[in-house]
Amino acid sequence: MALEAAASVQEFFTDVGLYLFGADVNPEEFVNRFFDSLFPLVYSHLINPAVTDSSLEYSECIRMARRDISPFGNIPQRVMGQMGRSLLPSRTFLQALNLGIEVINTTDHLLFSRECGRALLRMQYCPHCQGLTLSKPCMGYCLNVVRGCLAHMAELNPHWHAYIRSLEELSDAMHGTYDIEHVLLNFHLLVNDAVTQAHLDGQKLSEQDLASGMHVNVNKICGHPIRTPTESPRCSFDGSKEKLRMKISTRNGEETLANRRKEFINSLRLHGSFYGGLADQLCVNDLAAADGLPCWNGEDIVKRYFMGSGL
């Protein structure tokens, strides 16, 4: 049965991925579609294995009858609930990441004013005219120039900080049934429960049919299928044994999406003041002279003074 269900399982996970990446797909519809496609397999393998009529028309009738018969009990509704709770936060998180990428890409190429260009030219290259090609600007001078050039960037800082805080809050809320990874890793347990439910209800319906002569299942909707002359042995299926083999997937110690998301948020938090401190970062790490070294003040090379030093 697993091999025959592979295409439906693949389609289900494909629909999940399409939804996460913003496609116009309805979770309720693709959950229903999965259980619709599962029912003909469960019916022919577990509920009525003596059926030899494998025509497409009969299988399609069984598939369409699933929602009226409800062989899986409330499992499809439970799956819809878990999908509804977990898919939207993950989709929102991905959209937020794309927004952050757009912000970074937009600010990656800046247009400076003419005044800023002249100030940077004077700070960086005027010493070359005096043969001072290795000199660097003084820290205070560098900060004044670069902060002025990046003033419009600094205005982004409170919004950038709020964006990171919102990402952190959203990530923290994505756990348990609100975490799509957790839901998908344990999806097989709900499918197992659904198959077990259909198997048990199928036996009860068969017994009721024999006792009363009434058809309240697939036979009533789709008619009587072709049977083999001798009853085929029923497919052996023990849901309790299956559950023992399929324990809840916790993946402790493994690389999970939740752990990677946490590491990413922790890394991003370090850059919460990126735009506000960009000028300081540029001057301290690259542009300005180190404390105590001669530096260019815009007009000449001067010596810096240490606190408490006579130099």
Question: Which amino acid makes up residue 90?
Answer: S
- Note the pLDDT tens digit of each residue in 225-257: 665 554 444 455 555 555 444 455 555 556 888
What is the reported pLDDT for 215? Answer: 41
With 0-12 / 13-18 / 19 or more C-beta atoms within 10 angstroms meaning exposed / middle / buried, residue 229 is: exposed
| Distance separating alpha carbons of residues 156 and 168, to the nearest angstrom | 18
- Note the pLDDT tens digit of each residue in 133-191: 788 888 889 999 999 999 988 888 999 999 999 999 999 999 888 999 999 999 999 99
What is the reported pLDDT for 232? Answer: 45
What is the reported pLDDT for 204? Answer: 59
- Note the pLDDT tens digit of each residue in 78-131: 999 999 999 999 999 999 999 999 988 888 777 788 999 999 989 888 888 878
Backbone angles phi, psi at 254, to 5 degrees: -90, 165
- The answer, yes or no, to whether residue 208 has pLDDT greater than 50, is no
Give the pLDDT mean for 267-280.
89
- Note the pLDDT tens digit of each residue in 34-54: 999 999 899 888 887 776 656
Q: Where are the domains of the chain?
A: 5-229+272-302
Tell me what the pLDDT averaged over the chain comes to. Answer: 81
The whole-model pTM stands at 0.72
| Distance separating alpha carbons of residues 50 and 47, to the nearest angstrom | 9
- The answer, yes or no, to whether residue 202 has pLDDT greater than 50, is yes
- Name the pLDDT band for 206 (thresholds 50, 70, 90): very low
* Residue 259 DSSP SS3: helix
